[in-house]
A and B are shown apart, each in its own frame.
Chain A
């Protein structure tokens, strides 16, 4: 079995649910009271796909304007970018397009892009049609998923597809910058790291649980 380690950056306007999507995936829960991210938060996650152990290092960035200048730090070495927008907010979709332009201009290697339309639970207030978004995603050669962090819709699929694309990339493009471990010695090594990741993840879960009960509402 091979192991692969990939860096993923999550980008998007503020309040579209970047942190909620990540916490839903990594921590398997949803909280209405997620505090706006300060700077960027770091998560790790591991999974097994197609005979590959995949370890994801996730940078969940803050959507606020003042942190925008910090973004290159996170996407520069990323293998994949999740571009999250809010389907009930046209502006946030336009924001994705400016991120894509920035990535194309500044990222040298191949970067897998996945456009995510979040908040499908609020479909009655939808401002961006699925067709339009899919069309756009096609035009930039990106994956497209609609998700809901609240109902846990589409998130597993999105991450699975991103991981599959990463594996494919590591097979076809040797200069992709993806770390691939082969053979038993390095596998052991990789395992060690992966277990750390799992441990971290469990911590987050419990922490976010307690957060539910005592934080004031401040979702934006």
Chain B
């Protein structure tokens, strides 16, 4: 156990009584349920993007510095980030507000900016609307020149001054060869992601940690790259620093909106993993084979996705694997638009992890009239629509012949599985991620989590749990958290991550017992819940 004694108070809204478990569950690390040697997806670590983001930001700020020193500081700053973050309890507010990240001068300057904004001539700015101010989470995108590009709430035209302040904050700190990362004021977190030529800012008073908010911003940035590619984005601003990027992004707002909404409720982003549609492995094999047989020139990936962002299968070129973060953007593309439901479509898409500088061309179509499963054929060649259309037709014929689409529809209508099926009395809900395959499975949400508010609260609890076990300053292996409404257990091994919700009265030994039983159940069902063998071209 790497865990040390726990002394700090838990974060806001969380009742006390939290302890690090000393009991070790059965060692299942050797045979983590759902583990596989298959490299369909790249095994992604939580926060890997953020650490890269921090590294990159830092190195940009510190060009010319000694390497060793730089590296040390990165580690320190990452450490600082997580420590600061964890202690944002209400009682800490006063002490925590003046972040070290912003120098004293920076603060003064930002204050005077805020002062300017308060003058009456700017009354039309969104920030004067109480409704707008009360939003739980804001996301802003602006250019390095301070031009508004996107806002999650309200109208970015009415945020010119506000975004000007954000730009000023970023560039002021940059003048000192440093990077602003976040500020905390009261219950609000202000998180910055500086990815030239754009700046992304998130302002939230929610359960997420600053790291998790930074992860959201990274996804939003990747969504933009997915639409424009990095090379196009940087070229535009090289030519014209003052460019209004909204011109090129018209129609993209709904994808950004949808992505941010998804991140507020879908655990796939938090876990850096994808959820598979439960299917008999024999059916999944036929689907994989059928898709693999209908190959076409330069076809890199074929992705079949069911409703609610559940993966049916991925067939890939042997030498390429798909990163879950790229797959999440593909899911978002399908989830956010009904345009693909009316006809076969052909669209360029950039997968930032695969190649942030180039497009793949996607043939997108639903395979049946109910629009239950959407097939995406991604090719490097922009002139192969008709070849892919033909391949798609062959796939449909084959899948219908073997009743696969019927099986997909049945699984979709049945939903996930009820936790009662597992037969563990006190267990209410769980999420299990198999690290090696970057896939996760979770039970259906049932009472008492049927209402939107309660679901949101539970998701917040999972975010908290996730944040605590992945705290880079003090990573935990097991966290047993007793709350007034439920007891939660988070457990990280080299092979898996498990987050479980129990009734509030469960005892530690009972919970550990239940978890062992749960792992055995997942192991038994792993063929159905996970994609363990994938097909290649």
Contact = CB atoms under 8 A, between A and B. Distances in A.
Given A39-B348, A42-B345, A42-B385, A207 B248 contact: no
A119 B370 CA distance: 30
A199 B503 CA distance: 54
Residue of B337, B346, B382 ringed by the most chain A CB atoms within 10 A: B346
A40 B249 contact: no
A148 interface: no
A210 B368 CA distance: 13
Given A14-B250, A36-B251, A66-B249, A208 B342 contact: yes
Chain B, interface size category, equals 20 to 34
A204 B371 contact: no
Given A42-B389, A203-B369, A35 B249 contact: no
Interface string B333-355: 10001111111111110000000
B239 interface: no
A210 B372 CA distance: 12
A65 B369 contact: no
A208 B370 CA distance: 10
B71 interface: no
A208 to B, nearest CB: 5
A207 B251 contact: no
B366 A36 contact: no
A70 interface: yes
Interface in A146-202: none
A20 to B, nearest CB: 11
A84 to B, nearest CB: 17
20 contacts: A14-B250, A19-B342, A27-B342, A35-B339, A38-B333, A38-B339, A38-B345, A38-B364, A39-B345, A39-B348, A42-B343, A42-B345, A42-B385, A60-B343, A62-B251, A66-B249, A70-B348, A208-B341, A211-B342, A215-B338
Best-surrounded residue of A33, A35, A62, A211 (most CB of chain B within 10 A): A35
A211 B366 CA distance: 13
A23 interface: yes
Interface in A16-69: 19, 23, 27, 33-43, 60, 62, 64-67
Contacts of B252: 66
Given A38-B339, A42-B389, A65 B247 contact: yes
Nearest to A27: B342
Shortest beta-carbon contacts, A-B, top 9: A39-B347, A41-B343, A35-B339, A64-B251, A35-B338, A215-B338, A38-B347, A42-B344, A66-B248
Contact of B339 (A41, A65, A67): A41
Contacts of A211: 338, 341-342
Contacts of B344: 41-42
Given A62-B251, A207-B369, A211-B341, 20 more contacts: A19-B339, A19-B342, A33-B338, A35-B339, A38-B337, A38-B339, A38-B347, A39-B345, A39-B364, A40-B347, A65-B248, A65-B250, A66-B248, A66-B250, A66-B251, A67-B347, A67-B348, A207-B366, A207-B371, A220-B251
Contact of A210 (B227, B251, B345, B371): B371
Interface residues of A, number: 33
Interface string A68-82: 001001000000000
Contacts of B68: none
Contacts of B337: 35-36, 38
A206 B385 CA distance: 24
Most buried by A among B250, B343, B364: B343
Interface in B81-137: none
B339 A66 contact: no
B190 to A, nearest CB: 30
Contacts of B342: 19, 23, 27, 34, 41, 204, 207-208, 211
Contacts of B343: 41-43, 60, 204
A70 B347 CA distance: 9
Interface of B: 227-228, 247-252, 254, 333, 337-348, 362, 364, 366, 369-371, 382-383, 385, 389
A50 to B, nearest CB: 28
A38 B248 CA distance: 13
Nearest to B389: A42
A42 B348 CA distance: 15
B340 to A, nearest CB: 7
A65 B389 CA distance: 26
Contacts of B340: 38
Contacts of A65: 247-248, 250
B250 A37 contact: no
Contact of A42 (B249, B339, B346, B366): B346
B383 A73 contact: yes
A60 B364 CA distance: 14
A207 B339 contact: no
A206 B338 contact: no
A43 to B, nearest CB: 5
Contacts of A40: 345-347
Given A206-B369, A207-B366, A211-B338, A39 B249 contact: no
A110 to B, nearest CB: 23
Contacts of B247: 65
A174 to B, nearest CB: 24
Contacts of B346: 39-42
A34 B369 CA distance: 17
With most chain A CB atoms within 10 A of its CB, the pick from B227, B337, B342, B382 is B342
